[in-house]
Amino acid sequence: MSSHSICPALTTSLWLTLTRTAIWTWPVPVGSWEISLPGSKMTALLKRERGKKHLIEQNIAETRTVRAADFDGDGDMDLLGTARKANQVVWYENHRADGAVAWKKHLIDDKSVCPAHGNPADMDGDGDLDVVMALGFYFRPGSGEVGASLSSADNQVVWYENNVRSNPAGWKKHVIGANFDDAFEAIAGDLDGDGDLDVAATSWRTPGRIGWFENLGDPRGTWTYHALKDNWRSANQVILADLNGDGRLDIAACAEHGSYELRWWRNEGRTEIAQVADTPATTAPATSKIRVALAGDSTVTDQAGWGAAFAQLLGPQAECLNFARGGRSSKSFLNEKHWQQVLWARPKYILIQFGHNDMPGKGPERETDPNSTYPEEPGPLCS
């Protein structure tokens, strides 16, 4: 990763102004509003229209995360939330009937201390959405302060395995990084192009940092941590996106009091050890073995499909790289840049499987038409 500072001296007053421009977080009079930033060319038009507020839950002890995702696989959007001072990670099940929406609260975890910010992701490739989460934010060891995490053991980066289709409370916690003091946010994405999900995370103080955890192939097993920036006071939000259009996920994050910075780290390509090459490496390392790549949905993944069994059938002169992702169609596999990762690996043979996620009813991000777009989608895969 190569670091780039976007706003090395982002002041508090400018941060507040930008917040007001982007997200108005207090009551705004009905009407249209124009806001200009002093000394800049940025102008924003804000408009608030009359609407109705729908209460999901009240009197929550310090809300933190809220994310929308279909956790139970029923086709509608549920909600992920945290209550830091109540030590709760929760999801709200969406019940829709006769045009109305009702919500049912389910606990994911009420034993871990000070959950902060996290995101949905299919960590085990089984086609449903799990959750990655940072635990322990507001770490004050030895203070005895109510509402703070007091032990380094409480500070973790974790993921929760989703089993809600059989049991709404069916979540299992797996530790990615232990003793990650003052853990603030965690987010998942394939950072090293090997077909599984890695995790980037920030910690706020003591001393504040950002890094990423490399998934070595089994998300329930051991992870390898790679530091991006240490002693980065008040690091908070982190996002993953292909910022320079090269097909690889980059990392962007900001830090408030004591740093006042917004930075991004350019992903320079996969190496044998980690994604920290000094020069871009757009292809996988050379190998004397015959490289076979797998591309498809959960039918082919190592966790839920036949990928691992297929790899065991290969002889010592061959190796298998599995890029299959649960829940993908031929369309979404291409649009999410997974096919580009297959090409980086420079395989001699590629086995491709798609079909049922292309069916009508799977949503516009996945479905293809059997008489037109489905025959067209494999084109880029085979060109």
pLDDT at 245: 87
> Higher pLDDT residue, 280 or 156?
156
pLDDT at 306: 94
pLDDT at 201: 98
Contact by Cβ (8 Å): 202, 236: yes
pLDDT at 25: 39
The Cα–Cα gap between 256 and 250 comes to 21
Place of tokens 């980037």: 200
The Cα–Cα gap between 330 and 295 comes to 9
Percent of the chain whose predicted confidence (pLDDT) is above 90: 50
**Does residue 296 carry a pLDDT above 80?**
yes
Determine the average pLDDT of the residues in 110-120: 97
**Does residue 188 carry a pLDDT above 80?**
yes
Q: 123-132, 187-196, 251-260, 337-346: which has the minimum mean pLDDT?
A: 337-346
Strands 31-36 and 43-48: antiparallel
Task: Give per-residue burial for 263-284: e unless 16+ CB within 10 Å, then b.
Answer: bbbbbbbbeeebbbbeeebeeb
pLDDT at 5: 63
The Cα–Cα gap between 119 and 121 comes to 7
pLDDT at 287: 53
